[in-house]
Chain A
Amino acid sequence: MFPVLEAAFLAPGIRRFVMEAPRIARKQKPGQFVILRLHEHGERIPLTIENSDPSRGTISIVVQSVGKTTRLLNSLEAGDAILDVVGPLGKPSDIGKFGTVVVLGGGVGAAMAYPTAAALQRAGNRVLSIIGARTRQLVILERELRAVSEAVYVTTDDGSYGERGLVIDVLRRLMEQGTHIDLVLAVGPIPMMKAVADLTRSPGISTVVSLNPIMIDGTGMCGGCRVLVDGRSQFACVDGPEFDAHKVDFDVLLQRNSMYRGPEREALAEFERDPQAQVDGLRAETCAMEESAT
């Protein structure tokens, strides 16, 4: 059991959870993730670790409500507990002194990119961050990224905040203006990462993306998270989650991530019929387990 200490809304439908996980907190490095399971009938889902505090023994994750499991997770409050959290999984980000690094975070991808951006800044890189969201309310991690970036560019689809447009528009402009870029890190929706890879390919700018395929065990045992990189099968859980963007087959990733769209819709519809009952059920289950443990 992993107690939730804080559960704050960063934006509508996006929450940051701080939870007790001392072993993970001690080992976590930027770019790594955890897999969690909420209850005895729950699925296992991977989530990037946003931050960790080894002295408190805590880690934080940022969760956007998308399907049943993330909806249920985002219904939890401080004082609740998560049944299983395992990690840190995956290879840490490659943190070196590259020079100028542009970090792109699309939507909740800003929270995934943040730990790596901070580490790159600490390693002496000049960090330029570009984050984007549909609308002003959904822009997250701006303050945190400002603390580690020389500049932060914000875009919104509707122009309600920052520039109207997409994160890639800013990257394109920086490139056109002749900004020297040594490395690009892009984290966000698959079409966004694909577009960034296409943009930086011909000028030959090294580009790294963090992939989010469907996973079960997260230790290389099942092969469900296989992605096509440079024509070869790689397991995102142990060989990634970060890969050379120019070698990733994004179309295959998009197709494989759509594999359970039907069941996912069905599960979400079932959840939405009575969300509170599901949350109550989860709480009853974790309470009973805590009692039996003591």
Chain B
Amino acid sequence: MKGAQPESANPLSLKERVKLPRQLMLEQPAELRILNFHEVNLGYTEELARQEARRCLECAKPTCMDNCPVGVHVREFVQRIVAGDFAGAASVIREDNVLPGITGRVCPQEDHCESACKLHKKGESLGIGYLERFVADYEQRLGIRHLPAAPPTGKKVAIVGSGPAGLSAAGDLVQRGHGVRVFEALHELGGVLVYGIPEFRLPKQIIRQQIGYMRDMGVEFETDVVVGRTITVDELMQEEGFDAVFVATGAGAPQFLGIPGEHLNGVYSANEFLTRINLMHANEFPAYDQPIVDVRGKDVAVIGGGNTALDAIRSSLRLGARKASILYRRSEAEMPARAEEVKHARQEGVEFHFLTGPIAFLPGAPGWLGAVRCLRMELGEPDASGRRRPQSVPGSEFEVPLSVAVIAVGTSANPIIQSTTPGLDTNPKGYIHADPLTQRTSRIGVFAGGDIVTGSATVILAMGAGRRAARSIHEYLTDGNW
């Protein structure tokens, strides 16, 4: 289907396409949306989607697709939107991406497909992410059409973790006829999509629908299983009859700053702050039992400059924070967060304090956070990450009054699987060693991918690893060669 290029239905000349401005998505106004947790972006209408799709230059050699970690056939699905065949567009996407409703919302397209779009050089790139989201939502309303699966192979694959890497691998493997069972440590499926990404960026309903689709395809799910504790990787293979295991447990442990006062009440890791809200619904306390510190009318700051930092600070606004600030030790140019998220945060009233490095949390009421002491920073020579290294300015200390601080400075490897799976090699930082192309580990039959291999990355990169793992597991199960 995707090989054959349908005749272009686009009535516009290339010149006219270049002149068309990028169509904006509808979104909730900032002053309204900070009062709720509903989705900020509201998506395209059919007419907006078709108008945006008409901007596609239909390149003979589309580089957008080469730049997609899962290889979505962008040109083909966009052509179907132009023709008004939205269901057909969905089928095209689904061949390469089992979670389009999710990637259409949270994939940083500006770093992948859209950065390679020829329109990008002439102005604004094609809104590929917006279009993907439109197609996924259309398909959701219509009911997902199942792609036919290969006949059963009789092989069984265990997938550890139901986040983006695990789900992506599960979808591809079940499609190839293998039995797939996904084990999840938490009580709800979706991994970081559920506990990490807030409702206002990725509604839970979307995740549930995508998982429901996978169930329909035949994927089995088991929650409340911590592989490494409840059952080991070896037991999965030796006692439960799994022919291969894909470890996709995610980045794991939150990093703290290691500065004084980090144990004060009111100091959270981003993982905890977001988990309380996203997974445990603490924003709906007392209708839900798990509480969170009341931030209504108080000052909140998040330390860090990534998407997680922005998710946390924007959540605090929705919880009723009076003042919400980002403290980041580098400058805006070095922020890893998506530009769109930064824009949305600014619209919502988040204050950004760049070149600001916290050195101590100070108590207010006994045992409770009252302020953070910071140093001004300046940028020096580039470090290993290629970003200019922040250095503190001597004598520049200042204090910011604060009731809640959220630390969002990254994660480190969770050791549960590594420490309970003999012979599974790790790198010096504790992440599982896996071949970048085949995702094979040092243990026969065990594959790994996503953040537990690379450290914190993005949903789409984890999904790419899941796809590579699925292909490689399929080869291994087919020919038995390691």
Contacts and interface: CB of A to CB of B under 8 A. Distances in A.
A259 interface: yes
A228 interface: yes
Which residue of A27, A221, A226, A258 has the most chain B CB atoms within 10 A of its CB atom? A221
A69 interface: yes
Which residue of A219, A222, A249 has the most chain B CB atoms within 10 A of its CB atom? A222
B185 interface: yes
Q: Is the interface of A mostly helix, strand, loop or mixed?
A: mixed
Contacts of A223: 253-254, 256, 269, 271-272
B392 interface: no
A44 interface: yes
A256 interface: yes
B269 to A, nearest CB: 4
B342 interface: no
A84 B187 CA distance: 7
Nearest to B239: A26
A126 interface: no
Given A44-B280, A86-B230, A256-B263, A220 B252 contact: yes
Contact of B275 (A89, A217, A235, A267): A217
B272 A270 contact: no
Nearest to B192: A221
Contact of A216 (B225, B280, B285, B294): B280
Contacts, number: 123
A238 interface: yes
A270 B286 CA distance: 9
A87 B226 contact: yes
Contacts of B285: 263, 267
A252 interface: yes
Given A27-B230, A44-B290, A87-B229, A222 B254 contact: yes
Nearest to B187: A84
Contact of B253 (A88, A221, A252): A221
B359 interface: no
Interface of A: 23-24, 27, 37, 41-44, 68-69, 83-89, 216-224, 226, 228, 233, 235, 238, 249, 252, 255-256, 258-260, 262-264, 266-267, 270
A-B CB proximity, top 3 nearest? A263-B291, A43-B289, A222-B272
Given A27-B229, A238-B416, A263-B291, 13 more contacts: A23-B231, A27-B230, A43-B290, A43-B291, A88-B229, A217-B185, A219-B185, A220-B252, A220-B253, A221-B252, A228-B263, A256-B265, A267-B289
Interface of B: 185-187, 195, 223-226, 229-231, 252-254, 256, 258, 262-263, 265-266, 268-269, 271-272, 275-276, 279-281, 285-291, 293-294, 366-367, 414-416
